[in-house]
């Protein structure tokens, strides 16, 4: 079954078959969305690093860096928002497991070559499932908050390059993006 056919079936309940393809773990036998049962998995250390960017005019970057943004501490607020967002990921993304997060770091560094900021989040836990979505959510919300805090200076800022950089733990083990981390 092609992905186009599968999408048509998933969007139209009347067309659903009673067997879900075996590689789609979030669908039950009736094609209904379901949370994956991870109770049989071993609890292991899980870590994920995600990164992204926000581009802006050099003048906007200079204003933020000098502390002259109308809303106050742009970077501190965005960093805190990223941390809070990682903790709320299961409330934001359907079928995502709530996890007992042990460590969250959000780093936001200026980069004059963009110009703008490079954002990175590292999330760690001991659990039966990974924290990739928590790291990606942290980066996304940090970028959106940075935009919100600085939009009075510039509305044309661009958020992008949000991606998983590395994951550690679980059945698939260690995986790392071939490119280096966005924030060192």
* 83 burial type by CB count under 10 A (0-12 exposed, 13-18 middle, 19+ buried): middle
What span, in angstroms and rounded, lies between the C-alpha atoms of 51 and 107? Answer: 9
Annotated catalytic, 161?
Answer: no
The single residue of 37, 73, 148, 161 carrying the catalytic annotation is 148
What span, in angstroms and rounded, lies between the C-alpha atoms of 131 and 110? Answer: 26
Render 33-48 in DSSP notation, one character per residue. Answer: B-----TTSPPEEEEE
Q: Is the dihedral of CA 90, 22, 166, 157 positive or negative?
A: negative
Q: How many helices (H) and strands (E) does the chain have?
A: 5, 5
In the sheet that 44-55 helps form, which strands lie side by side, from edge to edge? 101-111, 116-127, 44-55, 158-168, 175-176
Residues recorded for the chain = 184
| Active site members | 148
């Amino acid at each position: 079954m092609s992905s186009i056919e599968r999408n048509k079936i998933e969007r139209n309940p009347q067309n659903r078959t009673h067997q879900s393809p075996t590689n789609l773990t979030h669908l039950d036998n009736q094609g209904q969305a379901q949370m994956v049962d991870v109770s049989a998995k071993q609890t292991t250390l899980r870590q994920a690093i995600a990164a992204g960017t926000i581009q802006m005019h050099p003048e906007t970057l200079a204003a933020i860096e000098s502390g002259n943004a109308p809303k106050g501490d742009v970077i501190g607020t965005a960093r805190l928002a990223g941390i809070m967002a990682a903790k709320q990921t299961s409330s934001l993304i359907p079928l995502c497991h709530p996890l007992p997060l042990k460590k969250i770091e959000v780093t936001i560094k200026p980069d004059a070559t963009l110009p703008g900021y490079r954002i990175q989040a590292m999330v760690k836990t001991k659990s039966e499932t990974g924290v990739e979505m928590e790291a990606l959510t942290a980066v996304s919300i940090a970028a959106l908050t940075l935009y919100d805090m600085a939009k009075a200076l510039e509305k044309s800022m661009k958020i992008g390059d949000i991606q998983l950089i590395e994951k550690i733990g679980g059945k698939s083990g260690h995986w790392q993006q071939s490119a280096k981390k966005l924030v060192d």
